Amino acid sequence: MSTEQGDFAPDAGTEATNLLKRNSDDVGWEYGVLVDASNKDKVKCKLCDKEMRGGIHRLKEHLAHEGKNVKKCIARTPLAMEAKEKCKKALADAKRKREEKTVRELEIREEVHVSRVGTDSDEVTCVGSSQPHKLGLIDKWTRAIDPKATKSDSLKQQQLNKELWKERTNEVHKYIARWAYTHAIAFNACDNDEFKQMCEAIGQFGPGLVPPTQDALRGKLLEEEYERTKSLLQEREAEKMKNGCSIMTDAWSDRKRRSIMNLCTNCADGTSFISSKEMSHVSHTSEVIFDLVDKAIEEIGVDNVVQVVTDNTSNNMGAKRLLEEKRPHIFWTSCAAHTINLMLQGIGNMTRFKKVVDQAKAFTIFVYGHTRTLECLRYFTEGKEVVRPGVTRFASNFLTLSSIQEKKDQLRKMVVHSRWDSLKDVKSKKGKEATTILSPSFWKDMKLTLTVFEPLVKVLRLVDGDVRPSMGFLYGELLKAKRQIKEAFGNVEARFKDVIAIIDKKMNGRLDSSLHLTAYLLNPHYSYSGPSIFDQPKISEGFIVCVEKFYYHDEHMQHQAANIELKKFQNREGPFSKKLARTFENFDYNPTSWWRLYGYETPALQKMATRILSLTKSSSGCERNWSGFEGVSTYLL
């Protein structure tokens, strides 16, 4: 199966195209390619064949007929018109983001205030800066720009100042970089607002700053930061009182093998830490979990907690029953991220999909298990990695398959090339099995597997993020995912029924409770676009159960919400009929804000909607903070 690089002729044209195509989401690459794979600056328009320098940005200017640095594209086809509009939008978006970044960085700097004592030194404004820079000793050798000087002299002085600031900035950057390299500081830490503020504060202080000691960092400064953080959370506390919140729990073990239980609270403004308790000395029984949750409810306020979110373990379900007995108005729901991951796991264990996943895993483990095979992979993928599957999250298998699919042409070329075939490890049994990615059936099954997994992974991303509350969108997006999966099987029931059965089994009692159904009904993005939702018995029954629980022992409010106000919402009466209310048609709209704005004539339903639609549907916020909590636990325990 070996072949020399120059002998790989059958798909030479395709390979050359793929080599010159950049693996990027930038819209410009839909209409352009690199002229030379080794020169990322020179590109060619696929619509008019014009070559130009300046990279993908210049190509987008060419296609959008914008800017004075490049000629306009002469193509006039429908595709060229489409490219023009897309590239115009991309350029405008990029410009807007740059402007927003500039404004944001200026705001960050202006938030820093360091008191100054006896600062009467000279100032000079650096070219391109909005703030004056203090002069150092070396600056005394330069002179200020003379307004009476000739244009030539002024330009020379301007250039001198610009080069001077560039040189001084580079000197400072080298010290920052040395500290980051020496102590293994993550490079993305420099993108943090706090890092930028630290640099600004040091700059405002000037020479001679004595850095804080370890004792100050773990003592006085930590206490001051804790108080500052508490003050910042006051707005979040107000949001909890106004629209309610969720309590999330999660258990984990730290590097010292201590069992720790975390409790967090989530509202529309984000996730906050409540407490972290070592549980090594007790069993995680339903009673223990219930006591921890109940104390957290007391601390936050009984009327401010709408739901508790946990995973689906039996001890949590036992705690749920105890809470329902003591506090019947508070909902207890299953973590959607955990449940969807179980769906993916169940589907992935089906014979057809398991074979593809196992083949992809075997290939990835083999390649990354040997230095020479890994070097060969990186050679053919130009340094791009294959995402390796995780141990606990089955969704990571989707990322692995998707990563392999993206590199299909490079990988197929690799395993028939002499560079790969000459490796000793490739001739082993595992090495030969790894070449199964050559099989057309593998790629065919891979495509189907990705098509089936992708709708559920999209829902997982929705509920697993902190971008916005997901309760109002979960049930509707799961129904959409089921429809897309059926379409992937050609809507042939015999082909999709086993997959749908797994989804329905995991949804039952977990993601189709009265709370989920009510959130689905009260989100006009779904109920107004599909009015039949109001007539579905399952939805109606779930809504009634939810109203009775939400307004527990308040028959007047139950009557108002269920018998009077729901009809007004359904018929789009009053404010619901306004033209501006059509923002619900956009998936990115905020349903909680929508109800605040247009639900004032239906107060009972409005209160329900704003509280329910601002809920999270996942306890992932608790999980994401494990590393941070370990530091807190180490300090406190």
Tokens linked to 73: 């594209």
* pLDDT tens digits, one per residue of 406-415: 888 888 889 8
In this prediction, residue 159 carries a pLDDT of 67
Model's pTM, two decimal places?
A: 0.72
| DSSP character at residue 41 | E
* Alpha-carbon span 478 to 476, nearest angstrom: 5
Q: Which residues contact 149 (CB under 8 A, 6 or more apart)?
A: 157
> Are 321 and 315 within 8 A, CB to CB?
no
Q: How confident is the model at residue 233 (pLDDT cuts 50, 70, 90)?
A: confident
Mean pLDDT (whole number) for 502-517: 94
Cβ atoms of 479 and 438 closer than 8 Å: no
| Of 73 and 392, the one with more pLDDT | 73
Per-residue pLDDT tens over the stretch 1-42? 444 433 333 344 444 444 455 557 788 888 998 888 778 889
Q: pLDDT-derived band of residue 517, with 50, 70 and 90 as boundaries?
A: very high
Which ranges of 489-565 does DSSP label H, i.e. alpha helix?
Answer: 493-507, 514-522, 524-527, 537-550, 555-559
Strand partners, 262: 250, 276
Q: Is the pLDDT of residue 220 over 90?
A: yes
Query: What confidence tier does 623 reach under pLDDT thresholds 50, 70, 90?
Result: low
Higher pLDDT, 206 or 611: 611
The tens digit of pLDDT for each residue in 550-598 reads: 999 999 999 999 999 999 999 999 999 999 998 888 888 899 999 999 9
Query: In this predicted structure, what is the pLDDT of residue 21?
Result: 53
Q: What is the pLDDT of residue 284?
A: 82
Q: What is the pLDDT of residue 81?
A: 92
Does residue 155 register a pLDDT over 80?
A: no
Percent of the chain whose pLDDT exceeds 70: 85
Mean pLDDT, rounded, of the chain: 84
Phi, psi of 141 (to 5 degrees): -85, -5
Per residue in 597-613, pLDDT (tens digit) is 999 999 999 999 999 99
DSSP 413-427: HHHTSHHHHT-GGGG
Mean pLDDT of 129-156: 50
The per-residue pLDDT for 243 is: 87
The pLDDT assigned to 153 comes to 60
Residue 125 clears pLDDT 60, i.e. is over it: no
Tally of residues, the chain = 637
DSSP state of 145: P
Partnered with residue 252 across adjacent β-strands are: 260
Residue partners of 383: CB distance under 8 A and separation at least 6: none
259-267/245-253 β-pairing: antiparallel
**Per-residue pLDDT, 45:** 93
pLDDT (0 to 100) of residue 537: 95
DSSP state of 390: P
